[in-house]
Each structure stands twice: as structure tokens, then as C-alpha cells.
């Protein structure tokens, strides 16, 4: 993620296609591109991570009704795509004005190529440069890390000499601060930086130092305008592990921090209730405080831990996190006056913050006391394997949305559940076998939307007329419109179970 959008647009191969900016977002020089991706797929949310430059002919999306085109643009904006670049094919060369205006409204950079350029050649050229830049940054970080490791082995874990070595290699101030921002150790340049007035273009790059699963401190690099921020972030991330090794020999957790760690370990590993209650008291969690547990799973949750905790605490809640394997667990204390509203706001913040990320988060129901925290966690874990998340959920699932399904999951009689499914929608399932589950998926999506035709058509990427034809056939197979005969709940439950059987 070390090449800017302006650098890509200035590339000779890209310039040969005469890119025309139709809708602007952030200043080109401030947008970093982590990868160039080519795709005609409309449903891209699960395929992109963010900061990609997307090359497309638009052949698939531009055939859709405008409302669905707008949803496509909104999805790209939510996934933080760096820019959308379209090369039209066929007789119609110009993009519709309403399409351009929608991109501008969403602040999604939109370009149209005025001449043909081989997408494969362009993507290969830019991606090779991105990989080369990343490799160069990692090589620099590894070289510094090796020097630090050699110094540790010979001279011990003194922090200031290590920070001076980082300072000399990167030509910037380096310091370690605690979570409150107080300086623990600093290079001479970092000391001078704090004494001087801030100059234009200066910025800080920091990385958390984790000890025992907790963010104990931060390595901070004070950079000048000439430094490359994205490159420094890669270097700092790489240096974090060796600096943590040195810092850990100086770090002593407080009694409250030790109690918090023991509490979370006990909740995650199903410790005794009395032990949990005592550790909670030592961690200064009041008896009867409402809370909820959440579990987040990803390839490297440790790296995103501080950012996640920041989003969780944005509502003023006390939050405690713990990492075990590829999972991050969080205990979130809720507002005792309005715990349901507090929890709903927490879920909304998470969905906004994690949209497009390559991870999965499940939020458990409210526990009215810390002794019930394990129950909240098990309910969150129970919904992890229930098929693909819906578009509205993004990467965050709310256990409250699955209350009925969680109740049914406790029934250990699969044959009786199949009988219930057959009773409610058996004819539909028989008719659907030759349609690859099309009718069943349509029924469940329609019921999940609150029987909203426009929303369902958009989610399934079909015309409303097509949807109404399917619904008419579905109603004939299940004994009528469930809204009319009062069967919405059992039919919805049967459809949901059938999709996951």
C-alpha cells in the first residue's frame, strides 16, 4: 500500500488510456493504493479488502437498474476502494450522468478511460511496483531488527540505546510511551521533537507493544514531511516485535491488569463462576454491571486489536480484550441505565468500522452480571458457523438477530426439525431442486427483509417483476401468502433452517 493514486494516474501506460476524472474524492496524492484489481463481478464485498484500484468495463453493473448501480457504488465506497476506473465497450461510450453524480455524492473517485489499455498489463505493472515497494520496506525493517537483536544479545535490554539505533537508521525520533501517553524512554531526537513547536507536514506513526495479550505501551516514530507514511507504518509494524521483547523485561503489570487478564482467560476457557466473580471484583467490575461478550476471528487479530478497542470504547464503555490463537475476545461494559441502547450503538459502530474487512465478529446478548459473561460468549460463538452473513450484517453478526434460531439449535432432534421443514415448505423444496435453490433463497431473503420487495430485489440483483413472479410461484407452493394466513414466523424459520441443513 505504498503507491499513491496520483502516481498510478501518471504512469505512462495509464496515461496512454487518457483517464478522465469524472467524480473526485480525496486528493489523489493522499490516496494510497494497496492493489490493482480487475473484475466484472457486481457482488464484490467479500472479495476486496479496501484501498484497491478497481478496473472494469462496467459491462455487468451498467446493465442493472440505476438503483442497483447506486448500491454497487455504495458498496465500493463502504469497502473503501481507492478508485473505480471504467473502460466502456460497445457503442455507448459515455457513462450516465446519474451514475457519475452518485459516485460524487459517495465521494468515490471515478475515472473513465478514453482509450483502450490492456487491463492485465496495467494491473501487472502497478502491482509489481507495489510489491517491490513493500519488499523494500520490509527488507529495511528486517535489517534494523537484526541489528537490534544483535545489540540485545550483547548489551541487554536497555531501551534508550535501541531507540537511538532506530533513530539513526530512519533519521527520525523514536520513543516508547505508555497507554496514557507518558514517555518511558526516548531517543535524543525524540526529546528535541517534544521541545520544539510542531511544523507543517510532521506526523507520528505508532505501533502497540503487546505483553500477555494486552497493549502495554506504544513505539512512536516522529516523522517529517519527507518521510513516506505508509512505508514507515510497515517498518514500525515489523520493528514492534523486537522492541516488545526488550520492553517486556522492564514491564510489570498492575494488580488490576493481572486480574483482568485472569478474568478473561477464565471466561473464555469456562472457568468456575466463583473464580470469575472474584477476578471481576479485583478488576473493578461492579457486581450487577450489564455487559456483553464478543468474539472476532481473523488471520491476524493482534495487529488490529488497538483499533478495534478504540471503536468499542467510542461510546464511553469500559472494554477489556484478550487474544487466544486467531481469536480476539472482548468484554464490553454497557450503560447500566440503557444497556440495550448501549449495545445496539456498539453493534452499529462495529459494522461501520469493520465493513469490508477480512474477518468475522459475533456479538453476544446482554448478560446482567459478570457471572453470566460465559453464557453471552457461548451465544456469540454459536452463530459463527451459520452460513454466510447477510449484506446488512457485513462482517458483524448480532446474536439478537438469531434469537429464534439459537433456541431451535438447542433441540438435539434433527429428524423432527426436518419434519417441521417439510410440513411448512416441503412442496417448495421439491420444486426447487431443479432451480439450484432459487425459490428457497428468494423466500428467505424476502422474509428477512420484512417482506420488502424493493430491498429483496436489490439484494438478489433481480428486477422487481422477476421477484413478483417468483413470489407468486412460492405462494402457490406453500399454501398462500404467509402475511395473509398468519404463517410468517413458521415459514421464515423453516426457510432459514432449510438453507442451513
pLDDT at 389: 54
In sequence order, which residues have a C-beta less than 8 Å from that of residue 59 and are 6 or more positions away?
A: 40, 89, 90
The pLDDT value recorded for residue 472 is 93
Tell me the angle at which helices 438-448 and 464-478 cross, rounded to the nearest 10 degrees: 100
- Taking every pair of Cα atoms in the chain, the longest distance, rounded to a whole number of angstroms, is 81
pLDDT attached to residue 393: 62
**Looking at the DSSP assignment, which residues form a beta bridge with residue 321?**
330
CATH number of 3-117: 3.40.1390.20
Confidence at residue 223, expressed as pLDDT on a 0 to 100 scale? 86
Residues of the chain with confidence (pLDDT) below 70: 1-2, 25-30, 45-46, 90-91, 180, 198-201, 212-214, 225-226, 299-307, 356, 385-394, 412, 501
Query: Nearest 5°: phi and psi at 298?
Result: -165, 180
Cell 534494523 sits at which residue?
Answer: 144
Q: Give the C-alpha separation, 135 to 84, whole Å.
A: 26
pLDDT of residue 124: 92
pTM above 0.85, yes or no: no
Chain centre distance of CA 480? 41
Q: What is the pLDDT of residue 277?
A: 93
User: Do residues 342 and 366 lie in contact, with contact meaning Cβ atoms separated by under 8 Å?
Assistant: no
Please give the order of strands across the beta sheet that includes 183-186. 183-186, 173-178, 214-223, 203-211
Question: Which of 83, 42, 79 is closest to 358 using CA atoms?
Answer: 79
**Per-residue model confidence as pLDDT tens digits over 297-355:** 876 666 566 667 777 777 777 888 888 878 889 999 999 998 999 999 999 888 888 87
Q: Partners of 55 in the beta sheet?
A: 38, 85
CATH number of 255-408: 3.30.70.600
Q: Would you kindly state where each structural domain of the chain is located, as residue ranges?
A: 3-117, 141-247, 255-408, 412-500
Query: What is the Cα–Cα distance from 74 to 23, expressed in whole angstroms?
Result: 14
Q: What are residue 16's phi and psi, to 5 degrees?
A: -65, -20
| Strand 173-178 to 183-186 pairing | antiparallel
Q: Rounded to 5 degrees, what angle do the CA atoms 267, 271, 273 make? A: 90
Angle at 47 between CA 37 and CA 448, to 5 degrees: 145
Q: What CA–CA distance (Å, rounded) separates 482 from 405?
A: 19
The long-range contacts involving 424-430, CB below 8 angstroms and separated by at least 24 positions, are 424/478, 424/487, 424/490, 424/491, 424/493, 424/494, 425/477, 425/478, 425/491, 425/494, 425/495, 425/498, 427/477, 427/478, 428/474, 428/477, 428/478, 429/498
Distance CA 480, CA 281 (A): 56
191-222 tens-digit pLDDT: 888 777 766 667 888 888 877 656 788 899 99
Q: What backbone phi and psi angles, to 5 degrees, belong to 88?
A: -70, 145
User: Do the Cβ atoms of 464 and 442 come closer than 8 Å?
Assistant: no
CB atoms within 10 A of CB 352: 12
Domain range 141-247, its CATH number among 3.40.1050.10, 3.40.50.410, 3.30.450.40, 3.40.720.10: 3.30.450.40
DSSP letter for each residue of 93-106: -SPPHHHHHHHHHT
Amino acid at each position: 500500500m505504498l503507491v499513491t493514486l496520483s502516481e498510478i494516474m501518471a504512469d505512462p501506460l495509464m496515461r496512454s488510456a487518457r483517464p478522465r476524472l469524472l467524480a473526485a474524492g480525496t486528493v489523489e496524492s493522499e490516496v494510497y493504493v494497496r492493489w490493482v484489481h480487475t473484475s466484472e463481478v457486481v457482488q464484490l464485498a467479500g472479495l476486496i479488502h479496501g484501498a484497491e484500484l478497481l478496473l472494469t468495463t462496467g459491462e455487468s453493473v451498467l446493465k442493472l437498474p440505476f438503483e442497483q448501480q447506486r448500491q454497487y457504488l455504495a458498496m465500493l465506497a463502504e469497502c473503501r476502494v481507492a478508485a473505480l476506473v471504467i473502460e466502456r465497450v460497445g457503442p455507448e461510450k459515455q457513462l450516465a450522468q446519474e451514475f457519475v453524480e452518485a459516485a460524487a455524492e459517495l465521494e468515490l473517485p471515478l475515472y473513465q478511460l478514453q482509450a483502450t489499455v490492456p487491463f492485465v498489463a496495467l494491473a501487472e505493472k502497478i502491482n509489481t511496483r507495489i510489491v517491490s515497494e513493500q519488499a523494500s520496506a520490509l527488507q529495511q525493517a528486517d535489517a534494523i531488527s537484526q541489528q537490534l537483536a544483535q545489540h540485545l544479545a550483547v548489551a541487554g535490554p536497555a531501551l534508550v540505546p535501541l531507540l537511538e539505533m532506530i533513530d539513526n537508521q530512519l533519521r527520525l525520533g523514536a520513543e516508547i510511551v505508555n497507554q496514557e501517553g507518558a514517555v518511558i524512554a526516548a531517543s535524543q531526537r525524540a526529546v528535541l521533537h517534544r521541545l520544539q513547536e510542531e511544523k507543517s507536514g510532521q506526523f507520528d506513526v505508532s505501533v502497540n507493544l503487546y505483553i500477555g495479550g494486552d497493549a502495554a505501551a506504544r513505539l512512536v516514530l516522529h516523522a517529517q514531511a519527507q518521510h513516506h507514511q505508509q512505508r514507515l507504518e510497515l517498518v514500525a509494524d515489523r520493528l514492534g516485535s523486537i522492541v516488545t521483547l526488550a520492553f517486556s523485561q522492564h514491564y510489570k503489570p498492575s494488580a488490576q491488569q493481572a486480574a483482568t487478564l485472569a478474568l478473561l482467560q477464565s471466561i473464555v476457557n469456562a472457568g468456575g463462576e466463583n473464580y470469575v466473580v472474584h477476578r471481576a471484583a479485583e478488576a473493578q467490575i461492579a457486581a450487577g454491571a450489564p455487559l456483553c461478550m464478543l468474539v472476532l476471528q481473523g488471520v491476524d487479530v493482534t495487529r488490529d486489536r488497538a483499533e478495534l478497542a478504540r471503536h468499542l470504547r467510542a461510546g464511553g464503555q469500559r472494554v477489556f480484550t484478550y487474544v487466544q490463537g486467531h481469536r480476539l475476545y472482548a468484554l464490553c461494559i454497557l450503560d447500566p441505565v440503557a444497556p440495550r441502547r448501549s449495545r445496539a450503538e456498539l453493534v452499529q459502530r462495529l459494522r461501520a468500522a469493520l465493513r469490508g474487512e477480512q474477518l468475522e465478529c459475533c456479538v453476544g446478548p446482554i448478560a446482567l452480571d459478570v457471572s453470566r459473561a460465559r453464557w453471552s460468549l457461548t451465544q456469540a460463538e454459536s452463530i459463527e458457523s451459520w452460513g454466510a452473513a447477510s449484506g446488512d450484517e457485513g462482517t458483524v453478526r448480532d446474536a439478537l438477530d438469531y434469537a429464534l434460531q439459537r433456541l431451535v439449535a438447542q433441540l438435539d432432534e434433527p429428524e423432527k426439525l426436518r419434519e417441521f421443514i417439510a410440513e411448512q415448505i416441503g412442496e417448495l423444496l421439491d420444486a426447487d431442486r431443479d432451480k439450484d435453490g432459487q425459490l428457497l433463497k428468494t423466500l428467505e431473503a424476502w422474509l428477512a427483509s420484512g417482506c420488502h420487495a424493493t430491498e429483496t430485489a436489490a439484494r438478489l440483483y433481480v428486477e422487481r417483476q422477476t421477484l413478483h413472479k417468483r413470489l407468486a410461484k412460492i405462494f402457490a407452493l406453500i399454501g398462500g401468502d404467509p402475511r395473509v394466513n398468519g404463517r410468517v414466523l413458521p415459514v421464515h424459520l423453516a426457510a432459514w433452517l432449510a438453507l442451513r441443513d
